Amino acid sequence: MLAVVPPPVTVRVPSKINLHLSVGDLRPDGFHDLTTVFHALSLTDEVTVALAEEPGVEVYGEGEQVVPTGGANLAWRAVEALAAHVGRTDGPANVRVVLRKGIPVAGGMAGGSADAAGTLVALASLWKLDIGRDELAEIAAKLGSDVPFALYGGTALGTGRGEQLVPVLSRHTFHWVLAFDQRGLSTPRVFTELDRLRETGNPPRVGSHAPVVEALASGDPRQLALLLGNDLQAAAVSLRPGLRRTLRAGVNAGALAGTVSGSGPTCAFLCADAESALEVAAELAGAGVCRTVRVAHGPVPGARLVGGDEHR
Ligand code: C5P
């Protein structure tokens, strides 16, 4: 009798920006306590998983030359983690993961985390597992601080190291322009730089997240623009001084406000509406301050099966 081979499964998974990112003290485990407002954007990666004779990861698109294809890839670690969780000891041996990347690599937009989250959802479907999103989120949190948010998407308040999430009401679609830098920035390096800046001086600290949450509920981009803030921005700018010019150029091009996304170096510019975002993007692309410009909107849902009903 012929074994029935299940068809490949594809999942689309969003990037994130941080509308508010307050960094607390360095913890004994090497992480920092955070309070952050995550916001999922329509700039996405696609993850396809299939049974194959040769296991591994293939990468196409943004950063395809620099993303590891072996065991160091976070998507592959997601395959191993899910296999271990459900006791499929031979699980990884026949899985192939294809990543089609739109999210910049090491850009502060949680692209690697997105790939891991997408892999968990795709593989749960391929293996027909009876496993809910909350159970997947527990595995996700062990893979990285931003992986659970990529599962849920939307807009959410993140605490702990960013993995503890509560949804935030957001009535409006916000329009963004993203400026990708020539090279990525290492997240641990940016956190270490912030620790250094705090030892030697007094870099700005964002206040409470509460006004951001109120602005999201009101849906007014002008109100939200006044409140965007990121404690990591000073550290990212210290390591990559050219970001100052990029941030200025976005606002000069007509954005309401700009912020470094997460640990950077991608800059996110909030615009009044979709039309304004296109105008800002065109002008920023000609300003010579970044490698590539994209428009995106948010919030969007988390990791979702493409072309079919979700497994769960
Ligand atoms: O969790 P993730 O693997 O994305 O974190 C990458 C690195 O970023 C950590 O090893 C740590 O250096 C830094 N980090 C941190 N505090 C957080 C999240 C990340 O210091 N809350």
Separation between Cα atoms, residue 218 and residue 75, nearest integer Å: 37
Q: Is 142 a catalytic residue?
A: no
Catalytic residue, from 45, 101, 115, 146: name it: 146
Interval 193-226: pLDDT, tens: 999 999 999 999 999 999 999 999 999 999 999 9
Question: Does ligand 1 come within 6 angstroms of the Cβ of 162?
Answer: yes
Q: Is 146 a catalytic residue?
A: yes
Q: Which CATH class is domain 174-298?
A: alpha beta
Q: Which CATH class is domain 9-168?
A: alpha beta
| CA 191 – ligand 1 centroid, Å | 8
Question: Does ligand 1 come within 6 angstroms of the Cβ of 144?
Answer: yes
Read off the pTM: 0.95
Question: Does ligand 1 come within 6 angstroms of the Cβ of 39?
Answer: no
Q: Tell whether 108 is in a known binding site.
A: yes
Equal CATH topology for 9-168 and 174-298: no
In this model, does residue 312 exceed pLDDT 90?
no
Measured in whole angstroms, the distance separating CA 56 from the mean position of its chain's CA atoms is 23
Indicate the residue type of 134: D
Q: What is the CA radius of gyration of the chain?
A: 19
Predicted local distance difference test score (pLDDT) of residue 1? 61
Interval 107-156: pLDDT, tens: 999 999 999 999 999 999 999 999 999 999 999 999 999 999 999 999 99
Interval 245-256: pLDDT, tens: 999 999 999 999
Question: Does ligand 1 come within 6 angstroms of the Cβ of 34?
Answer: yes
Q: Domain map of the chain by residue range?
A: 9-168, 174-298
What is the ipTM for the molecules in this complex?
Answer: 0.96
- Nearest-CA residue for atom 15 of ligand 1: 31
Q: Give the length of the chain.
A: 312
